[in-house]
Structure 1
Amino acid sequence: MRILVVSDEVEPHLYGPGAFKLQSTTDVLISCGDLPFYYLEYLASTLNVPSYFIFGNHGFELEHRADEIAIAHPRVGTNLHGITINEHGLLLAGLEGCMRYNPSAWFQYSENDMWLQALNLAPRLMMNRLRYGRYLDVLVTHAPAFGIHDQPDRAHTGFKSFLWLLRTFRPRYLLHGHIHVYNRNQVVATRYHQTDVINVYPHRVIEV
C-alpha cells in the first residue's frame, strides 16, 4: 500500500497536474495538518482514494467559501483525531494539534491535555489487538514526539505522551508535520524502539 502524506505547505506541483501522475500509484491520502481544505479536497478528488486528516495549529478549523458558507472540516475525508480506522487492513489512528503556546487558540494542548487524549485512545488500540492481533500500524500526529525532530521553543516542543504511545503500542510508523524543513541536513526520519518516526513536511510517499 502506498500512502501520500502531506502537511503544512501547499505544493504547487501537487495542487496541479502533478497530482494526476500519482493517481495510479496512491492508495491512501493522509494529512498531518495545517493545510487548507481546498488543497485536501483537490488531492482527494483527483486521486480518488480514501483520505484522512487531523488538524494542525494554524487555523483552517473554520474556512469561508465564496458562497459565504462556513465549514469546520474538509468536504471529503475522515478526521482521525482520537479514533482508529481499519483501512483495508491498515490500522490508523490520529492525534491533532501542538503544544499550547496561545491560551485562546484552537487545537493546542498542554502536556497533561495530550496525556488525556492519549489515554482516551488507548482502549481503542487494545481493542485492535483483540480483533486484529496488533495495536496499530500508523499513528498520525501534527506535532512530533518529545525529543524527536522537535525544537526548543514551546510552540514546537514535542509531546512526551507520544513516546509512551510508541513504546506501549508499537506502531510501525509515526507520521508528523509541524516542523518545517529548510536544511537538507535536518533529520527527518528516526527509529524509536519499533517505530519509524517520519517528518513528512511537505509531503512523503510511504510504502507499507
Structure 2
Amino acid sequence: MNSEITTADPRPLYRRAAAQVARLIAAATEGRLGDPTPCEEFDVRGLLAHLVAGARAGAALGERNRDVTLAPPAGVPDGAWAKEYEEAAAHLLAVWSDDALLERPVRVPWGEMPGGAYLASGCVLETVAHTWDLSRALGDPFPLDEELAEYALAWARRALAADRRGEGVPFGPVQPVAEDAGAYDRLAAWLGRPVGQAG
C-alpha cells in the first residue's frame, strides 16, 4: 500500500471530494430525486440526505468527540440539497481546521482511531464512494477525479478486508471488475457494488 496515500492530510482531499459531490448534487434535478442508485439502500433523494447527515455528523464528532447518529435531515425542500450539503461540508472543514484534532483519538461505531484516520475513512472514503453511486444514478454527467478514488480505495482496502463481509458489515462481497477498470469502478467493486449496474 502506498504509505503516502494513507498518511496524507485528509482535509484537502475531503475539500476536493466535497466540491466534486456538490457539483453532482447540483446536477440532480428534482425529476431525478426518486431514481435508484447502486447503493440499494437509497434512491437519489435518500442518498443526498445521507451525504448531508454524514457531513453534519463528521463536524459534530470533531466538535464534541462523540459519535452522532446519522439522522437524515428533515424538511429539506427538493431544490435545496446543494445548499444544505455545501453548508454541512464547509462546517466540517471549519471544525477540523485545528491540526491537533488529527491526532486526537475519536470513538466511532467501528472503533477508536486518530481523528485524521476518521476523516480519511469516515469522510473522504464515504464521500468518494457515494460520489460514484450518485454519478451512476445521474448517468455519469462528468468525469470524476481519479486521484480521489485511488486514495479512497487504499483506505477501503486497509479498513475493510475482503473477508470482513457479512452480518453487521454494511458492504457485500467484493465484486469482479476488469483489470483495466478505473479507480472508481475498482473502489465500487471492493465495496460490494455490482460495477456493471447503472442507475
Normalising by structure 1, we get a TM-score of 0.28
Higher share in helix = 2
Q: Which has the higher contact order (CA 8 A, sep 6+)?
A: 2
Higher share in strand = 1
Normalising by structure 2, we get a TM-score of 0.29
